Structure 1
C-alpha cells in the first residue's frame, strides 16, 4: 500500500528541475562543444567531415560511459548503504582483464584483433553480465538477501580473478603482454559504433527506468527492514537494481575498458553539490558530473596539453586519493 501511495504522490506533485542540474547540463554542453570544435581542421571552408565524425563518436562514448558508471555507483552505494564502495569491488574489471588474457593465450593476437569491434563487445559484455547475475542470484538466495556478505564474497572472487589474470600474463610473450596491458585502463580512442549504439541503448533504458522509480529508491536507501515495513517489495527491487548495475558496468567496461574509481569520484562530488539523499537529484547529478569529468579531461589531455597519456590513469590516481581521504575522515554513509 505504501508503494502505491508513493507512486500517487509522485504523479500528483513533481518537484521543479533543480537549478544545479541545469548548471551541470550547461557545463556538459560547453565541454562537449569545446571537445568537438577545439582545433578542428577546415578544408574548402568547411570542417573536416572525417575528423568531426571521429570526435562525435568519441564524445558519445565518453558521455555514455560516464552516465553508466555514475548511475551504477549511486545504485550500488544505495544497496550497500556505504559511500566508499563501487561496483568494481565485485571484480568486474578483474574479470575483464582475465578474459583478455585468456583470449590472447588461447587464440593469439590475430583473434584479438578480430574481436576488438562489435563481436568483442558482445562477448565481453555478455560474459560479465552472466557472471554477475549468477553471483548475485546465487549468493543472495543462500545468504537470504544479505548484501554485505555478498560484497565480501565478491571481494574474494575479485582477488582470485586478478591472481589468475596475473598468472596468465606471466606466461605470455612480451608482444602478447603488451596488448593485454593496453586493456588494463579505459581507452577512448577507438570506439566501435555498433558497440556504442548497443551500450547507449542499454544506458538510456536503465536511466529512464531509474528516474521513474526515484521515490522507491529513496525508501530503499532506508534499509531492508524499514523499506519492507513501508510496503516496498525490497527483495524484488534489490534484484532489479543489481541486474541494472550488472548491465551498466558490463556495457561500459566492454566498450572502453575498466575505470574503477570514476564512480567513487563523481558520487562524492554529487553528494557534496546536491546536499541531498534524493535519487531524483543524485542520479542525474552523478551522470552529468561523470560525463563532464570525462569530456573535459579528454579535452584537456588531447587539445590543450597535447598528451597521449590515458585519462583513466589520472582518474584512478585522483579516485584512489579520494578513497583514502574518505576513509580517514570516516565518511562511510
Structure 2
C-alpha cells in the first residue's frame, strides 16, 4: 500500500513539474485541476470495477458491460443530431454533466428495479445490460448515418475519454462525489468481504444480500456515471486496474483492495498522461493506449480461465 502511494506521489510530482516553465503558480493551478480529474476518474473506475466484480463473483466483468459507455455515446450523438455541432459546443457544462449523469443513473436504476428483484437475478441483469448495450450502439450507428458529415467529427471526439479538456468546476464536483462514495464503500468493507463469500454464505452470516446488492449496484452506477460524464467512456481501464490489484494485493479483504485499486489506477493514468503529454509530446489520446492494455488484460484473463 505504501509503495503504491509513493508511486502515485512520484507520478503526480512528475506530471506537475516536468516541462514547467513561466509562472509556476499558474502552471501548478492549471495542471493541478487536470491532475485531480485524472485521479478522480481513475479512482471511480477502479473502485466501481472491484465492487462490481465482488457482486458478480467474476473477475473478468466490469460495469461497462452494462452498457454505460454505449448509452453515453448515444446521448452525445443525439445531442449533436438535434442541436447541431454548434449548439452542442455551447451547451452549459453543468447542464450537460447533469444530463449525462442523470440519464445513465436513471437507466441503471430502471434496469436494477425491473430485473433485480433478488440477487439471484444478477446474471439475467448483466445479460440484459449487454443486450441494451448492443441496442444503444445500433441506435448510435443509425444517428451517425443521419447526421451532417461536417458534424461527425464532434461525435468522434466524444467517443474517447478526454483528459485534456475537463472543466475545473465539474472536476471538483465529480471529485467530491467520488470521495464520498469511495469513503462509504471502504467503511462498509466488512460487508463486501462477506458478500464476496457468496450469496448463501452471506445470508447465513446475517447479511441481507439482496438489499446490499441493490445499494452497492446503485453506488457503482453513480461512480461510473460521474466518471463517464466527466471525461467520456473508458471500457477496459477498470479491468486492467482490478487485475493488477488482485495480483499484487495478496488478500481478498476490501479494506486493502478498494484503496489499493484506486492508487494503482491513478498511478497508471497519471504516469501514462505524463509520458505521452510531457515527455513524448504526442497528441494522441492516452485513453486509446490504456484501453488497448485493458483489452489485452481481458483476453489474458479469459484465456487463463479457459485453460483451467
Deviations 1:19-44 (A, max 9, x none): xx11111110110010001110125x
Q: Which residue of 1 aligns with 2:10?
A: 30
For 2:307 and 2:209, how far apart are their aligned partners in 1? 22
For 1:137 and 1:84, how far apart are their aligned partners in 2? 24
How far has the Cα of 1:193 moved from its partner?
1.9
How far has the Cα of 1:146 moved from its partner?
1.3
Does the CA-based 8 Å contact 2:119-2:209 persist in structure 1?
no
Does the CA-based 8 Å contact 2:119-2:213 persist in structure 1?
no
Q: Which residue of 1 aligns with 2:139?
A: 164
TM-score in terms of structure 2 length: 0.97
How far has the Cα of 1:233 moved from its partner?
1.0
The DSSP-based 3-state class of the residue aligned with 1:146 is helix
For 1:205 and 1:29, how far apart are their aligned partners in 2? 22
Q: Which residue of 1 aligns with 2:110?
A: 134
Q: Which residue of 1 aligns with 2:32?
A: 56
Is 1:117 matched with 2:77? no
The DSSP-based 3-state class of the residue aligned with 2:116 is helix
Equivalences, count: 308
The DSSP-based 3-state class of the residue aligned with 1:300 is helix
Q: Which residue of 1 aligns with 2:76?
A: 100
Runs of 4 or more above 4 Å deviation: none
How far has the Cα of 1:275 moved from its partner?
1.7
Structure 1 residues 144, 245: CA separation in 2 closer, same or farther (over 3 Å shift)? Answer: closer
Deviations 1:184-213 (A, max 9, x none): 110011111221121111101111111111
For 2:186 and 2:230, how far apart are their aligned partners in 1? 24
For 1:78 and 1:146, how far apart are their aligned partners in 2? 15
For 1:121 and 1:181, how far apart are their aligned partners in 2? 18
Does the CA-based 8 Å contact 1:118-1:192 persist in structure 2?
no
Structure 1 residues 283, 258: CA separation in 2 closer, same or farther (over 3 Å shift)? Answer: same
How far has the Cα of 1:331 moved from its partner?
7.3
The DSSP-based 3-state class of the residue aligned with 2:251 is coil
For 2:294 and 2:119, how far apart are their aligned partners in 1? 33
Deviations 1:117-152 (A, max 9, x none): 2221111111111111111111112x6641111101
For 1:115 and 1:275, how far apart are their aligned partners in 2? 47
For 2:130 and 2:79, how far apart are their aligned partners in 1? 24
For 2:81 and 2:199, how far apart are their aligned partners in 1? 44
Q: Find the partner of 2:57 among 81, 84, 97.
A: 81
Q: Which residue of 2 aligns with 1:11?
A: none
Unaligned runs of 5+ in 2: none
Q: Find the partner of 2:129 among 144, 151, 154.
A: 154
How far has the Cα of 1:308 moved from its partner?
0.7
For 2:57 and 2:119, how far apart are their aligned partners in 1? 17
Unaligned runs of 5+ in 1: 1-20
Does the CA-based 8 Å contact 1:67-1:290 persist in structure 2?
yes
How far has the Cα of 1:115 moved from its partner?
2.3
Q: Which residue of 1 aligns with 2:271?
A: 296
How far has the Cα of 1:174 moved from its partner?
2.2
